[in-house]
Amino acid sequence: MRPLTLSRLLLRCGVLAVVLFIVVVVALKLGAVQVSLYGLGRDLIHVLIGRSSAISTEYGMVVMNIRLPRILLSIFVGAALAVAGTSFQALLRNPLADPYVLGVSSGASVGAILALMLENRLALSPEFAGLATPVGAFLGAAITIAVVYVLGLRGGRIDGNTLLLAGIITASFLSAIINFLMSTLAGGNLRGASFWMMGNLSTPQTKNVMYLLGIGFVVAAGAIYTTASDLNLLLAGEKEAMHLGVDVRRVRIVVYLAASVLTGLAVSVSGTIGYVGLLVPHVMRLIFGSDHRMLLPAAALGGAIALVIADTIARTIAAPSDLPVGAVTAIVGAPLFIYLLRRRLA
């Protein structure tokens, strides 16, 4: 008997953090402008201790001002999607659930587009510019998951296959809505249909939006983490969890809202990037087991690692053109999804 301890949890997260750091350094180095690892390390430390002014070369500035913000965005989006995916899998008791497959990301996209259109009309003051989009995306995500959940019910109980089918159909329906909005109502900066449907991390974000993302992530992921041991029991079924002392209603509401917030935040800055929320939790479960106290932080770090790698591939493989990162994750993710689906049916 070897239950999880805080020190083992921190050690494993530390290892993942080191892997993430190495991946970030490599991602910073790769690209059109060549930089030395030594210069990179020195500049990174300067940035970390808040002395950006000491950065030596103009190449360094390119790396720190263009590549680093994009990598930070990948870290945030990857972590948010993976935590949201882990949560949906536990909440719906379905190992194939994730924001993309369930159509939640598409719902968030529609919400974000509507918010962008509204924002263009309202002409908000600059401090609030860009902040309506995440809110719209959250609302879109929350409404979509509620609808998909109801569609996935059969005889009052959630049915795994019906749920997945409902999600996939909803996603397809919402993609059509996105196309419709783009081609008929376009005007102002709506970023284009391919951004919303394939996902892209190349749009630079304002400082305010980055703060909103950071705070939103910490609050939402923290809220989910407080339910980590409850989620372990919920996997065995709601009644059983209740008899072991889980306040099922409270856990459902917290996780449902927080996972919608995470999806909404991620989609509002990157569009719909698929399969990260599905596959990262699976890989982490294989490595660390299915205890959510370990799985949730591992998924956050693993999602960040996966998306930094995917985005680095997206911007370097066909350089100088920039592939949508969602294309990279789908090329890797879709076959893996089929594999998992067949293994589950077998």
Partner 1 sequence: MSTARSSLPTPDRPNANPDVRLSVEQVSYAYSPNPSQAPVFTLEALSFQAKPGEIVAVLGPNASGKSTLLKLISGELQPLSGRIFLNNFVVHSLPTKMRAQRIALVQQESALLFPSLVWEFVLQGRHPYGRSLRFESDDDVTIAKNALAQVGAAHLSDRRMDKISGGEKQRVILARALSQQPLLLLLDEPTLHLDIGAQVDLLETLRRLAAENRYSVVVVTHELNLAGEYADQVVLMQKGKCLRVGSPAAVYQRELLEQVFQAPLSVAIAPSGRPRVTLFSNS
- Which of 111, 229, 270, 307 forms a contact with partner 1 (CB under 8 A)? 229
Distances (CA, A) of 332 to 94, 226, 307, 327: 21, 32, 12, 9
By the rule CB under 8 A, 280 interacts with partner 1? no
By the rule CB under 8 A, 5 interacts with partner 1? yes
E strands, the chain, are 153-154, 157-158
The gap between the terminal CA atoms of the chain, to the nearest Å, is 31
Bond prior to 204 in cis (omega within 30° of 0): no
Window 185-224: contact mask with partner 1 (x via CB under 8 A): ----------------------------------------
Euclidean distance between CA atoms 31 and 62, whole angstroms: 11
Amino acid identity of residue 155, one-letter, is G
- Which of 131, 246, 280, 304 forms a contact with partner 1 (CB under 8 A)? 246
Window 80-119: contact mask with partner 1 (x via CB under 8 A): -------------x-x------------------------
- Which of 226, 317, 319, 335 forms a contact with partner 1 (CB under 8 A)? 226
Q: How many residues bind partner 1 (CB under 8 A)?
A: 31
Tokens 């953090």 correspond to what residue? 17
- Which of 67, 70, 285, 315 forms a contact with partner 1 (CB under 8 A)? 285
Which of the stretches 15-23, 41-49, 117-125, 227-235 binds partner 1 when contact is defined by CB under 8 A? 227-235
By beta-carbon proximity to partner 1, the closer residue of 144 and 232 is 232
Q: Is residue 107 exposed (0-12), middle (13-18) or buried (19+ Cβ within 10 Å)?
A: buried
Which of the stretches 44-52, 77-85, 228-236, 323-331 binds partner 1 when contact is defined by CB under 8 A? 228-236
Euclidean distance between CA atoms 346 and 332, whole angstroms: 22
Euclidean distance between CA atoms 102 and 263, whole angstroms: 11
Euclidean distance between CA atoms 199 and 280, whole angstroms: 17
User: Would you tell me which residues interact with partner 1 (CB under 8 A)?
Assistant: 1-6, 93, 95, 225-230, 232-233, 235-237, 239-240, 242-247, 285, 290-291, 293
